Structure 1
Amino acid sequence: MALSLSRRLAVCALLAGGSFLAFSPLAQAFELVEQGKLTVAFTGDMPGSGWQDGKMIGYDGEIMQKIADKLGLKLQPALMEWSGTIASVEAGRVDVMLGTMGWTEKRTKIMTLSEPIHYFKNGIMQSSKTNWDKLSDLEGKKVGTITGFSFVPELKKIKGLELSLYDTSDAAVRDLIAGRIDAVIGDPPVVSYAIKKNPEWNMQFLAFTDSNADFPLLTGLGQVVYGFNKKNDDLRQKVDAIIGGMWKGCEMKEIGARYGLAADVWYRPAGENFRAGVDRPADYKLPSCKAGG
């Protein structure tokens, strides 16, 4: 049977031992990189994402694995540095990207973004000998962060801050431990997980206590989302429906607890809802895991 040359591919599942294709109950005509597969760009930074025994692991990864299973798709991993993930989605080389990516209005212009899978507040990874939790604490300091992070322009506005950009979180943390920089502003789940796993570092993470309208990405409410090519908004909508069901059952918190994200702060939005009227309706409400869930 000849296959269409179009990239508009039906989501199919090959029956075990069979010689024909059968449509999954959730089949949709999505525009995918490869038939029957969901190609995922990820960084491999835990606790967000990893690949083990043919499946995605980590908080972002485990949720994406469940989504793919429900869609009847096989996950195709595409491990890369953070700086390449969004560009790969834009170019259509992958179907979706993940890696504790925060929602920003700028990113809505180049991708279609999913419902949040958890929330966060940015902060400072630093020595346990200091207690910096304000933007002003970074003035005159040597600070590291990751190339392509949305808040880089805001960091550059802090008086006297000497900024170093890294391709990976590991490289930034190594320089912090070696004393070549004073602090790291990274993904809160990633740095918190790393600190928990390595107590000998004598490091801590403190969230910003500022609420500064001039620094909304650094001090505002963060939403971790998945990014899709704009041509795949139909896929994004199907994924959002699955995410919505997981929020209702508080499955997000159940998964998060396995990766050190058990506190309510990750699952209950507190702060301004920037998405309402931007890439969601004006009356849009953020999902949450209810008390007792």
Structure 2
Amino acid sequence: MINKNKLFLLSIISVIFLVLLAGCGNKSSSTQIEKPASNAKETKEDMKLVHDGKLTFAMSGLLKPLNYEENHKLVGFDVEIGTEIAKRIGLEPNPVTNPWETILQGLKGHKYDVIIGSMTATEERLKQVDFSIPYYISGAQIFVADKNDTIKSKDDAKDKIIGVVQASTHKEVAESLTDKVKAYPSEIFALQDLGPGRIDAVITDKIVGVSAIKEQGLKIKPIDNVLNQENIAVAINKDHQVLLDKINQAITDIMEDGTYEQISKKWFGINIMEKK
């Protein structure tokens, strides 16, 4: 028979064994809980952000209604798109301004993470930085009075009077369509002449035209597709693939769930991602 002392000793050993088992179990559970936090930290580091937890995106701040200052705050289409992108990837939006002539240098110098300022993705710029998928499409487009049904494509503009801004690249496009080109000091003056019929059409940037419809209330309409498509995209440094992938996914998501169209119609009255 086991005496009382031996029974007491066995009880103590059993308790110690159970405590050790519980401790091992807790240690294992603790290790499993900590892993996601470690992975999250690694993901943030992979994005190589200028400011931890923030997406800092640059623009000129001088391109109304795309990006401009109002009551000491940056507003506009680009600002809202950048803000939505930041939120989709779990970051705080941090829009900033930089002079346009040095905006690429600022990006390469890591003053900000990306440029979301209506920058066209060109072959020349692609030598210096990478670009996201387009977040809108622009380019030269023909505008006519909304009651004009005689011009439905660029072919119909032949021999018609076309207004352009003097010394602009659109002048060359107009001259390829007609020998009746009228130069103006500004796009607005040219577009205002469409209603009274002083000219038949205007060739200007798509965004300029649709902004005039929304902001100036001009009774005009765009014709056909843009004449030379420009893909406007987010510019990012070449060694930031993780952040670029997240931005591309965010752009795709806001276009698919209807958020993009809501923002675009707020600022332009149309979905500017559409080609027409």
TM-score, length-scaled by structure 2: 0.57
The answer to whether the 8 Å contact 2:64/2:76 transfers is: yes
Distance 1:68 1:240, change over 3 A: same
Structure 2 residue 107 is the aligned partner of structure 1 residue 98 = no
The answer to whether the 8 Å contact 1:42/1:97 transfers is: no
Match of 1:227 among 235, 240, 258: 235
SS of the equivalent of 2:240 reads helix
Q: In structure 2, what is the Cα distance between the partners aligned to 1:47 and 1:175? A: 18
Distance 1:196 1:76, change over 3 A: closer
Tell me which residue corresponds to 1:68.
Answer: 86
* Alignment: residue pair count: 226
Normalized per residue, which structure has more helix?
Answer: 2
Tell me which residue corresponds to 2:7.
Answer: none
The answer to whether the 8 Å contact 2:170/2:204 transfers is: no
Q: In structure 2, what is the Cα distance between the partners aligned to 1:66 and 1:255? A: 10
Structure 2 residue 187 is the aligned partner of structure 1 residue 173 = yes
Tell me which residue corresponds to 2:253.
Answer: 245
Q: In structure 2, what is the Cα distance between the partners aligned to 1:208 and 1:146? A: 24
The answer to whether the 8 Å contact 1:67/1:239 transfers is: yes
Q: In structure 2, what is the Cα distance between the partners aligned to 1:87 and 1:152? A: 28
Tell me which residue corresponds to 2:65.
Answer: 47
Tell me which residue corresponds to 1:206.
Answer: 222
Per-residue deviation, 1:115: 1.9
Structure 2 residue 211 is the aligned partner of structure 1 residue 189 = no
Distance 1:59 1:229, change over 3 A: same
Match of 2:45 among 28, 49, 71: 28
Matched AA of 1:224 = I
Per-residue deviation, 1:99: 3.5
SS of the equivalent of 2:44 reads coil
Q: In structure 2, what is the Cα distance between the partners aligned to 1:197 and 1:129? A: 19
Q: In structure 2, what is the Cα distance between the partners aligned to 1:239 and 1:58? A: 19
Q: In structure 2, what is the Cα distance between the partners aligned to 1:260 and 1:177? A: 16
The answer to whether the 8 Å contact 1:59/1:259 transfers is: yes
Tell me which residue corresponds to 2:227.
Answer: 218
1:19-68 deviation digits (Å, cap 9, x = unpaired):
xxxx8896234445555451412444343223457765333321201222
The answer to whether the 8 Å contact 1:39/1:75 transfers is: yes
Tell me which residue corresponds to 1:20.
Answer: none
Structure 1 runs not aligned, ≥5 long: 1-22, 165-170, 210-216, 271-293
SS of the equivalent of 1:230 reads coil
Match of 1:116 among 134, 154, 157: 134
SS of the equivalent of 1:47 reads coil
The answer to whether the 8 Å contact 1:30/1:235 transfers is: yes
Which has the larger Rg? 2
Matched AA of 2:223 = A
The answer to whether the 8 Å contact 2:188/2:212 transfers is: no
Matched AA of 1:124 = I
Distance 1:138 1:112, change over 3 A: farther
Matched AA of 2:165 = G
The answer to whether the 8 Å contact 2:47/2:243 transfers is: yes
Structure 2 runs not aligned, ≥5 long: 1-39, 194-198
Q: % of aligned pairs identical?
A: 16
